[in-house]
């Protein structure tokens, strides 16, 4: 079995690529970085160091890479692959979809009867659907029929914290990860790859995906933004702050109530998941920088992402959402100057005011109750 993974960064090497090699796949990375591609090809192996109370090390062997711009070799590699996965950042799915589309057109001619699965492994809701839409855009009927018959597009939920922590490396492509992972894939959309090591195949992905996006990614951002206001450096430091810990617990309580109302998820199971997340946030070995976790607040504050989406679910079910609003307000207060997306938000606030900024970036209606609450929370956080 052959796999192609787009994005040879820390998540690609330390999570998805790691599990694919454990499953026996012949693995080729694709990346835009010429230096990274060169290092992977020259070394052919790297170490994955799991950080927890007990540090472990595993070696991933027999890996190779090609550059994103090497269209000829990329097409050849995709043409004989059984699986294509991606961890490139949700913002890059549409553009990368165009690249994959051209490779798939060549595959349709050279290898039309071999099934393939394509899975976007991103911190976004239904990321594979975003990629699929890009691939299908302006396609002719023959190509669309080929995709429907031979290509699976399962969505997934991925969960592993991979920080930019400093550690002693044997090679420049070694990667450190937390000692926990979860990868859930919707089983009904899979064409071929139904036995990946460590994967949980589920019939209904939505509850698992939203649980992860809301409770992990949502409160991870909340800790980063509130921790930044209090001048903490790392996630594990910020979560020890009693006020931030209470804010996280309140967010979790509201989001769990929404998930229970929406999907009838067991409240006690959700509480155990919440408690485990807080313990994971306390992992001091990760040295996870707040600015890494908080980067790109434009995406994190968007209408269908980790902060606004649970708010909307609460509203749909008539539930309280004050803790979630606090997280949204903290995102607008995040003014880290070395983050261009944070700077974009601050520019909008300074130009048109906080209400206009909240409406622009969240898609919430100006003058609505959640916007009023967000403004009040923003003013409390910033003192403005």
Beta strands in 97-220, from DSSP E residues, in sequence order: 116-120, 151-152, 156-159, 175-178, 182-186, 199-202
Position 31 pLDDT exceeds 90: yes
Q: Looking at the structure, tell me whether residues 348 and 378 fall in a common domain.
A: yes
**pLDDT class of 22 with cuts at 50, 70, 90:** very high
Position 32 pLDDT exceeds 90: yes
The arrangement of strands across the sheet holding 175-178 comes to 56-61, 45-51, 175-178
Q: Looking at the structure, tell me whether residues 165 and 213 fall in a common domain.
A: no
Q: Looking at the structure, tell me whether residues 299 and 366 fall in a common domain.
A: yes
Q: Looking at the structure, tell me whether residues 194 and 283 fall in a common domain.
A: no
Where do runs of H (alpha helix) occur along 111-136?
A: 127-136
Query: How many domains would you assign to the chain?
Result: 2
Q: Which of 263, 12, 10 is nearest to 119 (CA)?
A: 12
CATH of the domain at 292: 1.10.1040.10
Least confident segment among 48-52, 149-153, 185-189: 48-52
Q: Identify the pLDDT of residue 55.
A: 87
Query: Taking the chain, what is the end-to-end CA distance rounded to the nearest angstrom?
Result: 58
For 258, left (φ over 0), alpha (ψ -120 to 50), or beta?
Answer: alpha
Q: Looking at the structure, tell me whether residues 217 and 321 fall in a common domain.
A: yes
Q: Angle at Cα 291 formed by Cα 288 and Cα 295, nearest 5°?
A: 115
Domain boundary (139, 171, 203) is at 203
Q: Which two tokens stand for residue 351?
A: 């130009």
Q: Identify the pLDDT of residue 283.
A: 94
Q: Looking at the structure, tell me whether residues 186 and 216 fall in a common domain.
A: no
Element (H, E) at 262: helix 242-263
Q: Tell me the residue length of the chain.
A: 384
Across the chain, mean pLDDT equals 97
Q: Looking at the structure, tell me whether residues 158 and 184 fall in a common domain.
A: yes
CATH of the domain at 14: 3.40.50.720
pLDDT (tens digit, 9 = 90+) per residue, 54-105? 889 999 999 999 999 999 999 999 999 999 999 999 999 999 999 999 999 9
Q: Looking at the structure, tell me whether residues 237 and 158 fall in a common domain.
A: no
Q: Identify the pLDDT of residue 384.
A: 82
Q: Looking at the structure, tell me whether residues 96 and 232 fall in a common domain.
A: no
Position 164 pLDDT exceeds 90: no
Domain boundary (161, 181, 203) is at 203
Q: Identify the pLDDT of residue 24.
A: 97
Q: Identify the pLDDT of residue 293.
A: 97
Q: Looking at the structure, tell me whether residues 191 and 325 fall in a common domain.
A: no
Q: Looking at the structure, tell me whether residues 132 and 35 fall in a common domain.
A: yes
d(CA 106, CA 102): 7
Q: Looking at the structure, tell me whether residues 156 and 30 fall in a common domain.
A: yes
Instruction: Break the chain down into helix, strand, coil percent, rounded to 5.
Output: 55, 15, 30
pLDDT (tens digit, 9 = 90+) per residue, 107-148? 999 999 999 999 999 999 999 999 999 999 999 999 999 999
Q: Which of 155, 130, 275, 271 is nearest to 208 (CA)?
A: 155
Q: Which range marks the domain in which residue 58 is found?
A: 2-203
pLDDT (tens digit, 9 = 90+) per residue, 217-233? 999 999 999 999 999 99
Domain boundary (203, 218, 246) is at 203
Q: Identify the pLDDT of residue 284.
A: 93
């Amino acid at each position: 079995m052959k796999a192609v993974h787009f994005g040879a960064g820390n998540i690609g090497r330390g999570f998805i690529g790691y599990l694919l090699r454990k499953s026996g796949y012949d693995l080729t990375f694709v990346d835009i970085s010429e230096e990274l591609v060169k290092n992977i090809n020259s070394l052919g192996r790297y170490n994955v160091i799991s950080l927890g109370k007990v540090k472990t090390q595993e070696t991933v062997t027999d890996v190779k890479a090609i550059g994103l711009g090497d269209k000829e070799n990329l097409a050849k590699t995709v043409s004989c692959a059984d699986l294509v996965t991606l961890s490139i950042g949700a913002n890059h799915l549409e553009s990368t979809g165009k690249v994959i589309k051209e490779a798939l057109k060549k595959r349709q001619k050279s290898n039309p009867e071999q099934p393939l699965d394509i899975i976007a492994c991103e911190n976004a809701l239904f990321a594979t659907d975003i990629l699929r839409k890009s691939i299908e855009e302006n396609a002719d009927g023959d190509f669309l029929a080929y995709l429907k018959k031979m290509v699976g597009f399962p969505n997934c939920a991925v969960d592993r914290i991979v920080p930019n922590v400093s550690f002693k490396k044997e090679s420049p492509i070694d990667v450190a990860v937390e000692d926990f992972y979860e990868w859930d894939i919707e089983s009904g959309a899979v064409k071929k790859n139904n036995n990946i090591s460590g994967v949980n195949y589920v019939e209904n992905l939505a509850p698992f995906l939203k649980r992860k996006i809301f409770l992990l990614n949502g409160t991870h951002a909340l800790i980063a933004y509130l921790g930044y206001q209090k001048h903490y450096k790392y996630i594990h430091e910020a979560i020890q702050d009693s006020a931030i810990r209470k804010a996280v617990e309140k967010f979790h309580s509201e989001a769990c109530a929404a998930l229970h109302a929406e999907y009838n998820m067991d409240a006690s199971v959700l509480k155990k998941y919440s408690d485990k997340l807080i313990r994971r946030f306390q992992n001091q070995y990760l040295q996870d920088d707040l600015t890494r976790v908080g980067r790109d607040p434009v995406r994190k504050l968007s209408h269908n992402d980790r902060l606004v989406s649970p708010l909307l679910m609460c509203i749909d079910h008539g539930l309280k959402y004050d803790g979630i609003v606090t997280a949204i307000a903290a995102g607008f207060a995040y003014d880290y100057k070395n983050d261009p997306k944070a700077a974009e938000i601050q520019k909008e606030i300074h130009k048109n005011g906080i209400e206009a900024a909240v409406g622009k970036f969240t898609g919430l209606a100006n003058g609505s109750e959640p916007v009023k609450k967000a403004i009040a929370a923003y003013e409390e956080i910033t003192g403005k």
